[in-house]
Structure formats: C-alpha cells, structure tokens
Amino acid sequence: MYNIFDNMIMGFQVATSWENLLFCFIGVLIGTLIGVLPGIGPTTGIAILIPVTFGMSATTAIITMAGVYYGAMYGGSTTSILINLPGESASVVTMLDGYQMAKKGRPGPALGMAALASFIAGTFSIIMLTLLAPPLAGYAVSFGPPEYFCLTFMGLTLVSALGGDNPLKAYISSVLGLLISCVGIDAISGVSRFTYDNMNLLDGVGFIGMAIGLFAVAEILENIEEPIKQVFSDAKLGFLNLFPSRQDWKDSFGAIWRGSFLGFFIGILPGSGATLCSFIAYAVEKKLSKHPEKFGTGVIEGVAAPEGANNAAAGGGMVPLLTLGIPSGGATAVMLGALMIHGLRPGPMLFTTNPEFVWGLIASMYIGNVLLVILNMPLIGIWVQLLKVPYKVLMPLILTIAATGIFATDNNIFDMWIMFFFGVVGYLMRKLGFPEAPMVLALVLGRMVEMSLRQSLTISHGSLSIFFTRPISGVIMVVALISLFSPLFPILWNKYKGREAAA
Amino acid sequence: MPASATFGPGPAFLPFWLAVILAIFATILFVSAWRRQATEKDHHSIFPGKTALIAITLVMVGLGVYIFLIEVLGYLSDTFLFIVFLMKAVEREKWPLTLMVAVCTTALLFFTFQFLLKITLPSNMFGF
C-alpha cells in the first residue's frame, strides 16, 4: 500500500533541497519570461533547455522543465491582456475579454485574476495529480505490450485528430515521425535500418536536434518572415490595482472551478494540450453564462475560465506522462524525450523504482505555483518592461543557444546538422499546414510503438485480434479507432443530410 | 501477415506498413486537394515575398556555414562572427548594437556552457 501522505513528505524533502528550490525558481522564471515574450513558446523553451539540464540530476532537470511549462501558462496571459498579442497559443482566448478589460481601464484586475485563477487551477490540478497518479500507475503496472501499443497508438491518433485544422496532414506528419524513428539499429533483431553506412545514424535520428529544429529554428524563420510587431502598453499597474474586486470574485468563482475541472480532465487525454482546454473552457463558460452576449466585451469570467483551464491542463498533462509514459502534447513530448536521455523510462514503474523523482516533481509543482504568484503579482511591471527587448536581439541569442546546446548534449557536430535539416523541414511544414507536434511525438514514442507492436504480434503468432480481445487494450483500441476516423464523421453526416434533403 | 508470422514480425515489418499507410494518406490528400474548389487563399503563394525569402535564406546559409566552420574557427570566433552576420546581413542593424549583442551573447554562452556546465566547446588551432 502506498501512502500519499508519507510520499508527499518525502517529495517535499526532495523539492526543498536548495538545489531543487533554486532550479524550480529558475524554471518558473524562465517559463514566465517565455510566456511573456511572443515568438518563443513553451515547447521551444523546453527543447532549448534540455542540453542545459544535462549536468543536473534527472529530478532537478524535470523540476526545471516542468517549471518552464506551467510558468509559461502564467506569463502568456500578460501580453494577451495588455497588448492583444498572445505570448503563447494557450493564451489566445484570454485576449478576447482580457484585452477588452484593459481597454476599459481595468488591466489590473484582469492580470490579477489571470494570475490568481492560474494559481487556484494549478494547485487544484496538482492535488488531483497527487491523488490520481498513484492508483493509475498501480493499475498500469499490469499492462503488457498489447496495452502499450494501443496506448501509444491512441496517443498518436488523438494528437493528430485534435491537434490542428487538417487531421489528414497531422496523420501524415505522425507517420513520417514513426518512419524517422525506424532509422538506426533495430532493437529486436540488431539489423541497422536506413543508416546508409553513416555511423552517426546507428543510434537513430537525434531527438533533441529534431525537436529544436522543428520548434526553435522553424519558429525563428517564421518570425523573420513576419516580424513581430512591437506594441507597448502604457497601463499603470500598481500592486494594489491588481486585486480583483469582490464582485469580480463573485463573477468568476464558478468559471475558475469549471475551468479547473475541464482543464484537468481534458488535459489528461493525450493530444489535447493546454490550448484546446482553454478554448473549450471559454466556450462552456459562454454557454452557461446568464449574459453570453457580453462575452468579448471584457467580462472577467472570460479571463478566469481559460487561464484556469490552461494551468489545470499543464497539471493534467503530467498524469499520462508520469503514469504511462505517454505525453499529452508537444511540450510534454519534449519532456519525455529529455527524461529518456536522463536514463529514466517514464511509466508506471517510475512510482516504485524512482519515488523520490516522481514525488519530488509533484511537490516542486506546489512550490512553483506559489513562486509564480509571487513572481507575477508584484513584479508584473518588470515583465511588461521586458516586452521592449527587440526580437532582433533575441533572435541571434535563441539561435546560438539552440546550436550550442545541441553540440553540448553529445559533443557531436552531426546533431547540429540534424537541427539544420529539421529547421528547414519544420519551416516548410508550417507553411504547408502540417503540424509538427505529431511528428515529434511519433519520434519519441516510435521505439515503444514498434517494440510493443512486434512483441504483441509475436505473442499472438501474427494475429491482430490480440489488440481487441484483451479487455483494457480492446477499450483503448476502440477509442483510438474512433479518434482515428473522427475527422470523417462530419463529412459523412453532411452527406447523409444532403441525401435526406434531396429525397 | 508475412510468412514469418510464427517468429514475429521482422525489422522491415513496421517501415513497410508505414510506407503503405503513408502512400494511402498521400493519395487521399492529393485527390481531395484536386477535387475541391479553389479558395481565395489558393491564389496566393504560400511562400513569402522576396525580401523575407532572402532573409530566411541568409539565416539558413549562415547557420550552415556556422556549423561547418565551428571546428575550424573555434567556438568563440565562430559564434561571434555568426551573430555579427545575423545582425548585419539579416537585421541590418548599426555597428554599435551589433558588436554589443555579439560580444554579450558570445560571452554569456561561453561562460554558461564552458564554465557552469563544464562542456568542452570546439576550439581552433590556436586553442580558443
């Protein structure tokens, strides 16, 4: 029997060591910074940080990276509210009402509510993570190769089906990612595949090089093409102006809780990601509201709900990552890749083999959330000043950090060429509307997909029925197939409607 | 299923089926793009105008040259020159800001990676 209370005490002992506290602080600080600065998102930030976290222990490294992830959710709202420019994609919806509030002379309460809603929802989601993760992990220990294949398959189909405008292009992107993961020595037979006698490829295509190329370099190229406009806000932000009024609290109380629940439970699903959660929370709030027509004109619920949801989703996304080893989106996929490089295999066994790692991370998230409120409330003026740093100064900095970091991971120039190659690929993919998150996810999960698929088929002597006859894998497989074909439903529905109308 | 089913699928199993799936997806994409009506967006090229294209090409050529020369010039001089190139050729900044950014960034990176993270960065034949 595990004991959550004992585990939490151990977790806090790990998280409050000076090193972990310091890096938790650095993580959330960088996260806020990345969230505030448009043109660099959390996934890019985490990808660039992987090499820097190499010298640390795995626990410290993941504490830092998780800090960046949820820290960015806080920071992103600042620019959305003040200058109508989202710092990252999960804060796009916050613009709708946040910027209107700022325009009406109430930027303070909007920012304050964003930070406090983030805090409440973030803490809620960590409590849920604390309570839900251990039983889920205990349950998942019994999973065999068929279950793992179904889970990874579901992760890929969900990411692709939910992640973008064109699911077909997302599927193509994930199939390409799986193909890239086949490069290198085959783990079962020891045959080298697609290496073209290049020694550097025996170990597969470097994950860090690919992630940084697809996210960081491609993002830079995109920003060069369309320079980010620099807008300054002249809003006066005193510390006391930041606190929402009693009426504001009354208005957004329900919104925060609904946002927290939605964000957490949708955030658990692989593929959902924080952006989708914030959109759903806003839509639900609008539907439930007594005055839906006021949404978009600066109502505080419209800030509280999505900000709560995207923070809760950051916590929710840690559930499948820690218990099953399946990331929920681009940012957690990059974290998973980083953990594997640190020699940890995220999955149910993590709770028994590395309890200090899991509980240290969870405890650090409680601490990080408190740090973030402190960072965001009194210091918000400083973050606003930071927006004056021009992108042309940041661009060389981001590019050289990325390049140096990649070299630093393996002392190998070849990885830099991988970054170069995937930078070009990523830019073209963005231009042509192919999402890059499924590709990175597929590369990270590729080995697991292939191993579990081939092991399952070996067990079943080649029969695919093994995925359907085992109860757990059967259920997951059905969900995966539904999500795989879900893009077809609206098309078929329209056809059916059209035929009915014609008859 | 291949004939070797009793021994489990071999190393070519997944790549083969992935290629088949990819071909199917590509065909669907191609056919659906062929059949649908052209929209307003389709009349514009997805690629940026000449100035932006030149800037993007410059960045990538610069990055390629940077990677190529890093073991020849050494980390310090190569990074410094790369940033100067980015600021001057791509961003068209004035010299004072260019030099300031180049010196600060190079120093910051060198300090972080070489001293804090203890990573041996490439050096040139003169040892820096």
Which chain A residue shows the shortest CA-CA distance from B21? A175
Amino acid at B118: K
Q: Confirm or reject contact between A226 and chain B (CB < 8 A).
A: yes
Give yes or no for a contact between A255 and B93, defined as CB atoms under 8 angstroms apart. Answer: no
Three-point CA angle A206, A208, A213, nearest 5°: 100
Across the interface, whether the CB atoms of B70 and A427 are under 8 A apart is answered no
Across the interface, whether the CB atoms of B11 and A188 are under 8 A apart is answered yes
Across the interface, whether the CB atoms of A175 and B5 are under 8 A apart is answered no
The DSSP code sequence of A149-205 is: HHHHHHHHHHHHHHSSS-HHHHHHHHHHHHHHHT-EE-TTT--EES-TT-GGGTT-S
Summarize the confidence of residues B86-90 as an average pLDDT.
Answer: 88
> Is B123 among the domain residues?
no
Q: What is the pLDDT of residue B3?
A: 47
Give how far A431 is from chain B: nearest CA, Å.
6
For residue A254, pLDDT beyond 70? yes
Q: What is the pLDDT of residue A421?
A: 95
Q: What is the pLDDT of residue A370?
A: 92
Instruction: Give which of B17, B67, B79, B105 to mutate to test A binding, by max A Cβ within 10 Å.
Output: B67
Between chain A and chain B, how many beta carbons pairs sit less than 8 Å apart?
142
Give yes or no for a contact between A37 and A387, defined as CB atoms under 8 angstroms apart. Answer: yes
> Is B61 among the domain residues?
yes
Give how far B65 is from chain A: nearest CA, Å.
11
Cα gap B9→A173, rounded to integer Å: 24
For residue A425, pLDDT beyond 70? yes
Collect all residues of chain B within an 8 Å Cβ-Cβ radius of residue A449: 14
Q: What is the pLDDT of residue B1?
A: 45
Which chain B residue shows the shortest CA-CA distance from A169? B29
State how beta strands A192-193 and A184-185 pair: antiparallel
User: What are the boundaries of each domain within chain A?
Assistant: 7-226+240-502
Residue B116 CB partners (closer than 8 Å, separation 6+): none
Residue A45 or A162, more confident: A45
Question: And the tokens for A136?
Answer: 């889920």
Q: What is the pLDDT of residue A163?
A: 66
Q: Confirm or reject contact between A430 and chain B (CB < 8 A).
A: no
Tell which residue, A90, A116, A118, A15, has the closest CA to residue A57. A15
Collect all residues of chain A within an 8 Å Cβ-Cβ radius of residue B91: 392, 395
pLDDT tens track for A199-223: 888 888 888 889 889 988 998 898 8
Instruction: Give which of B31, B83, B86 to mutate to test A binding, by max A Cβ within 10 Å.
Output: B86
Residue showing tokens 């490294």? A61
> Is B40 among the domain residues?
no
User: ipTM > 0.85?
Assistant: yes
Q: At what angle do helices A107-140 and A92-103 cross, to 10 degrees?
A: 160
Give yes or no for a contact between A277 and A283, defined as CB atoms under 8 angstroms apart. Answer: no
A200: left (phi over 0), alpha (psi -120 to 50) or beta: alpha
pLDDT tens track for B26-67: 999 999 888 887 777 777 777 778 888 899 999 999 999 999
Residue A417 CB partners (closer than 8 Å, separation 6+): A209, B67
Instruction: Give which of A52, A195, A404 to mutate to test B binding, by max B Cβ within 10 Å.
Output: A404
> Is B68 among the domain residues?
yes
Number of domains in chain B: 1
Say which range, A10-14, A320-324, A409-413, A415-419, has the weakest mean pLDDT: A409-413
Cα gap B74→B124, rounded to integer Å: 4
Collect all residues of chain B within an 8 Å Cβ-Cβ radius of residue A226: 48, 52
Cβ atoms within 10 Å, residue A55: 13
Cα gap A207→A415, rounded to integer Å: 9
Cα gap A47→A402, rounded to integer Å: 8
Dihedrals phi, psi of A192, to nearest 5 degrees? -90, 135
Give how far B127 is from chain A: nearest CA, Å.
17
> Is B1 among the domain residues?
no
B39: left (phi over 0), alpha (psi -120 to 50) or beta: beta
The DSSP code sequence of A84-153 is: S--SSGGGHHHHHHHHHHHHTT-HHHHHHHHHHHHHHHHHHHHHHHHHHHHHHHHHHTT--HHHHHHHHH
Burial class of residue A260, CB neighbours in 10 A (0-12, 13-18, 19+):
buried
pLDDT tens track for A447-497: 888 989 988 988 888 888 889 988 889 998 998 898 888 888 888 888 888
For residue A165, pLDDT beyond 70? yes
Which structural domain range is residue B72 located in?
50-116
Residue showing tokens 């960072």? A375
